[in-house]
Structure 1
Amino acid sequence: MTTRKFAAALVAGLSTLALMSGSALAQSSEPFRLILTHLEPPLVPNSVMDLAAELGYFEEEGLDVELIRVQQTPSAVAALQSGEGEMANIGVDALLQVIHSGATDFRAVTSPNKSLPFLIASKDDIATPEDLAGRSFGVGRVGSLDHSLSDMVLSSLGVSLEDSEVVTLGQPNVRGQALAAGQIDATTMSIGVWSEMPDTTGLHVLVDQEAYYEGAPVVNKVNAVPGNVLEERPDDVAAVIRALTRISRDFAENPQLWVDAMAEVRPDVDVAVLEMLAESFAGSWSVNGGMSAQELAFTSEWLYGTEDFASFEPLPLEAWVDFGPVDAVLAELGTDESMDPADR
């Protein structure tokens, strides 16, 4: 056999071995359907699900992942209940509600983007949260998510929102416009809304995204699976978690990878905005699966204290969370101690 033929045979053999090894990581040749509630890759760490498909991370795990896109959380829950998907990225509140409604085998197994990317923006003359006293603060509505979480955040900083004039304004973009026009002095918005404001002259970020989550460590979304999927396709569930954990770690280590990938799938967004967002996400990647037991317990306790859950008996953590799959992945990959607590 010539050297060239031997090399070709060796490459072919290694390729076959690689394919065999990759397919061994997955359990089924059937597509694994992941239900998402966004129609295009979002400008938040949740984009790892879209980008894991785009960049081949799922394929490297030997898994054929099909992204099923729906417009709202109720549609995602309905699709998961009817067997139209194996896993869905849904709000913790929606997961708890569906379990209380009878789907008692549903479990959260990972969270690619656990926190809402909220921040508090204000006029420049409000230098510290204490300066909010006596000033106007825009909220969606009294009791809304942004209102209640911001109240919690400010309380953790020793400030009471009750000392401000709370103004009901509706959606975040409307509140942003009101802030820019000088109609209010401060408000809560997502990093995405802030980044898209055409002019922030005279404004600044009073409480940044990381500090906001520290003050209100409420896990927003999780990836949930029904009991039959956990029972019948555990290796596939682990493969999805492993792919999402690996890509999260890659983006955390090199944010430019996220910028480059998003520039390809979201050419409508200016690269400078993507770079700013990547910098703001520095401590937000789910490098350990996004399943802090302490944060999940805090989220549950907070939700059961809201009006929507007033009539429900609180579920214990083990009734809606299964740490087994993510812990198995971390046993393989190791734990990244730099962010995303893996406390149990």
Structure 2
Amino acid sequence: MAQRSRNRPADFIKILFFVTVLCGGTKAAGAETVRLAFSSFSATNAGFFTGIEEKLFERRGIDLIHLYIASSSIVLPAVLTREVDVATLSGEAVIRAYHQGAKNLAIIGTQVDKFTFSLFTKPEIKTPQDLRGKILGVSRFGGSLDTSLRYGLQQVGLDPKRDNITLVQAGGMPEIMAGLTAGKLDGAMLLSVYAQRGKELGYRELLDLGTLDVSFPQGVTLTTREFLRDKRDLAKRFMAAYLDGLELFLNNPRIGKKALAKFTGVKEERFLDADYAQYTEKYLNKSMTTEPRMLSIVFDRIGVASPDERGKLFKGLVDNSILAEARALGASTTR
């Protein structure tokens, strides 16, 4: 019985991919398949969304199968077991796993290198001190929402255990938003268009982590060393397609906002305008390159103090060479 229970997440992912393949139409002749998992349908992944919508992966000879898994803590095991080839998720979850022995992981890009979350609360909660005794929502423990909330609380002198602040796993961003509006949560971490909606609904933006002057690998692109070794040319074309999508997103607001609307499910133009402006001007790491400073805060959190050990971990986990090779392929779109 225990054996079956442990295998359920992997079996569920296989079913999702099977359904996606059945619904996705005919595979182009000669195309190679890449299985991609998103942990968030936010503008963090705007380059991927645009690439998918504009069929830029197909132009690179890639049959891309993608699905949504609502937290980094669930996506990561799917990468480790190679149920997916590539995933986008929180960098902290990846660094912790690598530090604990998952040496086959490889970060091949960083989409966002700073916090983009804000803590929204009921209007009657006016100061951080009012959070004592309250219930706050995140996606799952160990995910990027959970990490950023705990960090933000620490910055204002609060500790969930000491100050009786209850953190609950509320699901993906749509489910978190629903819990907040239904009154089941006193506050929640929101981002992207959901943060814009929270403002309009009258919730208070109590903590804006985007204003903190810190680097943090909020959104990274992850694969395995085996995938890079066995399918390097495919990995290179995959990253080239992402760069194509990112360039198109940054330079064509109409196409970019259309992709955001498709994947986030938000249709209101005012929300899409605000989200597009924030990510193009403030959040997206336009080079996609992963730098040592981006991991420093995570090294602090997991107790890696030695510069030599930090350097060794960075060198072992991060592979920027795929990006360099992808750029050398040139753009596949001139739009």
TM range (shorter): 0.5 to 0.7
In structure 2, do the counterparts of structure 1 residues 204 and 88 end up closer, same or farther at CA, with 3 Å as the change threshold? Answer: closer
- Structure 2 unpaired stretches of 5+: 1-28, 171-175
For 2:295, give the aligned amino acid.
Answer: L
Shift, 1:324, TM fit: 1.5
Q: Deviations over 1:227-270 (max 9, x none)?
A: 23222332322222222223223323343332123335566633
Shift, 1:88, TM fit: 2.5
- Structure 1 unpaired stretches of 5+: 1-27, 307-312, 335-344
Q: Which has the higher contact order (CA 8 A, sep 6+)?
A: 2
1:67 aligned residue: 65
1:320 pairs with 2:322: no
2:282 aligned residue: 283
2:51 aligned residue: 52
SS of equivalent to 1:291? coil
Distance in 2, Cα, partners of 1:270 & 1:76: 29
For 2:324, give the aligned amino acid.
Answer: D
In structure 2, do the counterparts of structure 1 residues 187 and 165 end up closer, same or farther at CA, with 3 Å as the change threshold? Answer: farther
Is the Cα contact below 8 Å between 1:32 and 1:86 reproduced in 2?
Answer: no
Shift, 1:37, TM fit: 3.6
1:150 aligned residue: 152
Q: Deviations over 1:284-307 (max 9, x none)?
A: 2231115232112333332x149x
For 2:270, give the aligned amino acid.
Answer: A
Is the Cα contact below 8 Å between 1:109 and 1:224 reproduced in 2?
Answer: yes
For 1:110, give the aligned amino acid.
Answer: G
SS of equivalent to 1:111? strand
Identity score, percent = 14
1:136 pairs with 2:131: yes
SS of equivalent to 1:35? strand
Is the Cα contact below 8 Å between 2:152 and 2:209 reproduced in 1?
Answer: no
Is the Cα contact below 8 Å between 2:47 and 2:247 reproduced in 1?
Answer: no
Distance in 1, Cα, partners of 2:32 & 2:231: 11
Q: Deviations over 1:52-104 (max 9, x none)?
A: 122122233x2313224263556644544444443232433443455456542
Q: Deviations over 1:2-47 (max 9, x none)?
A: xxxxxxxxxxxxxxxxxxxxxxxxxx95524132145xx8232214
In structure 2, do the counterparts of structure 1 residues 246 and 318 end up closer, same or farther at CA, with 3 Å as the change threshold? Answer: same
Distance in 2, Cα, partners of 1:325 & 1:108: 10
236-245 vs 255-264, which moves further: 255-264
In structure 2, do the counterparts of structure 1 residues 147 and 197 end up closer, same or farther at CA, with 3 Å as the change threshold? Answer: closer
1:231 aligned residue: 229
1:258 aligned residue: 256
SS of equivalent to 1:289? coil
| Paired residue total | 281
For 1:168, give the aligned amino acid.
Answer: T
5 Å-filtered alignment, 1:103-122, equals 103-115=102-114, 117-121=116-120
2:8 aligned residue: none
1:43 aligned residue: 42
Distance in 2, Cα, partners of 1:263 & 1:94: 28
Highest CA radius of gyration, 1 or 2?
A: 1
Is the Cα contact below 8 Å between 1:34 and 1:67 reproduced in 2?
Answer: yes
Shift, 1:196, TM fit: 3.5
1:241 pairs with 2:239: yes
**Aligned residues: CA RMSD:** 4.2
In structure 2, do the counterparts of structure 1 residues 165 and 105 end up closer, same or farther at CA, with 3 Å as the change threshold? Answer: closer
For 2:314, give the aligned amino acid.
Answer: L
Q: Taking structure 2 as the reference length, what is the TM-score of the superposition?
A: 0.65
Shift, 1:121, TM fit: 4.0
For 1:210, give the aligned amino acid.
Answer: G
